[in-house]
Chains A and B, each alone.
Chain A
């Protein structure tokens, strides 16, 4: 009887030990996600702020209206800090891609990519609305 109880307790102990080990993995995995989220938030805030600043004097919509993708890329390159990689895609109201050239300063080298969706309105007499998908990452 005593030996049988001993066996049961050991099974419970083993179960608890396994639970502790797995919970350690589970918790640490979540902590890593929260770190990535903080970095994403910082990049996203930086990207949003940059788009807002370029849009504040109407230059952003002007470049999109005129299809001057090279100038848009150069303006973004200049306004963003060095070491930030970006890729911008411009869509119209029907979600059809407007930019005919790639608006990017390089390839993303990591999985840590922040995403921003920004709405930009044209200052032309004909009302146009553009949806910008802006991806940002840190260059390695």
Chain B
């Protein structure tokens, strides 16, 4: 009898242990899910903390104030999460504003599909050079059918291609006259043919009558906030030339609204287009021509804790959301983790 009771108790505890443990995990998973939703559905405090570059939020939230739809994020709040932005929040700022001392997090916002550009060949003509590019639009290796709009920018040169329909892989020839000086920048904006709100973009800098282009962010730090662009100089001998705002359907030259020895500012127009705005600024550093670019909202980015090698954290859960920023759709991934229990 004693053996029967003891074995019953032992088997009970053995049977229940994993389920009780999983039950605890499920509670944490549920709590973290609510926290991730809170981050995306709450506007934060003050509610316009994104637009005011000098303000650090007291309460964290990425939703657009007065948004008509759920999961509609504020373009400036999102941009201020990118470390490339001069007014970016630090992890500590967000951690304090979230007011949850036992939760570590990581936030990633990116286009729903990727655009990749490869220079496959170039041919010299008598007075020009032809560059052959391969443009891929893919989501996790699967091809995405999309309409493509391409912009080519070089020194005193600006050109737009007609919209090209791509089945996921397309070839594009760009002809640049020998009179044009590089480096040149090819910008590709892609829009899904099935859902106009799903857009993506990429840029490719290449040499043309010039030395190889420098990496992005060598000469300028571009910080778009509240439809104003601040171009901060990273070298002392910089002279700016042209600035452009580009979307899938529209484009505009930007007018400088102010400058000093360290930076220049521009107004960014508000386009009625479900597309990110690509901002391009050209200039000279001493005698070298350069092109810098960024996107508004300033994506893709990742901010927060790196959970990949963490030994001290357990119960890391990830959540995926489709969010909209100025009527374009993006993917937002949020990872949340807590201390080992």
Q: Which residues of A contact B (CB under 8 A)?
A: 10, 13-14, 16-18, 20-21, 23-25, 27-28, 31-32, 34-35, 38, 42, 46, 49-50, 52-54, 56-57, 59, 71-72, 74-75, 78-79, 81-82
Q: Contacts of B104 on A, CB cut-off 8 Å?
A: none
Q: Which residues of A contact B139 (CB under 8 A)?
A: 78, 82
Q: Assuming the A-B contacts A79-B112, A81-B320, are A31 and B22 also in contact, with contact meaning beta carbons closer than 8 angstroms in the complex?
A: yes
Which residues of chain B have a CB within 8 Å of any CB of chain A? Answer: 1, 4-5, 8-9, 11-12, 15-16, 19-20, 22-23, 26, 29-30, 33, 69-71, 112-113, 139-140, 142, 144-145, 192-198, 274, 319-322, 324, 327, 329, 331
**Residue in A14, A32, A79 whose Cβ sees the most chain B Cβ within 10 Å:** A79
B residues near A81, Cβ cutoff 8 Å:
320, 331
- Cα A56 to Cα B64 in complex, Å, equals 15
Do residues A17 and B5 form an inter-chain contact, with CB atoms below 8 A?
yes
Contact of A24 with B16 in the complex, beta carbons under 8 Å: yes
Cα(A32)–Cα(B198), bound, Å: 37
Point out the residue from B15, B71, B142, B192 that lies within 8 Å of A24, measured CB to CB: B15
Q: Does B8 lie within 8 Å of A49, measured CB to CB?
A: no
Partner of B320 from A46, A52, A56 at Cβ < 8 Å: A46
Question: B145 CB to closest chain A CB, in angstroms?
Answer: 7
- Which residues of the other chain, B, contact A20 by a CB distance below 8 angstroms? 8-9, 12
Q: Smallest CB–CB gap between B191 and chain A, Å? A: 11
Alpha-carbon distance A54/B197, docked complex (angstroms):
8
Contact between chains at A74 and B194 (CB < 8 Å) = yes
Q: Which residues of B contact A82 (CB under 8 A)?
A: 139-140, 142
A46 contacts which chain B residues (CB < 8 A)?
320-321
Minimum CB distance partner of A29 in chain B: B19
Which residue of A28, A53, A74 is within 8 Å of B197 (Cβ)?
A: A53
Judging by beta carbons under 8 Å apart, are A32 and B324 in contact? no
Candidates A14, A34, A78; contact of B26 at CB < 8 Å? A34
Q: Are B19's CB and A50's CB within 8 A?
A: no
CA distance A16 to B9 in the complex (A): 11
- Give 28 pairs: A residue, B residue, CB < 8 Å, sorted on A: A13-B4, A14-B1, A16-B5, A17-B4, A20-B8, A23-B12, A24-B12, A25-B15, A31-B20, A32-B19, A34-B23, A38-B26, A38-B30, A46-B321, A49-B70, A52-B69, A52-B70, A52-B71, A53-B324, A56-B197, A56-B327, A57-B196, A57-B197, A74-B194, A75-B195, A78-B139, A78-B194, A81-B320
Contact call B19/A10, Cβ cutoff below 8 A: no
Complex contacts, A13 vs chain B, CB 8 Å: 1, 4-5
Given the known interface contacts A14-B1, A57-B327, A78-B113, the answer about A28 and B19 at a Cβ–Cβ threshold of 8 Å is yes
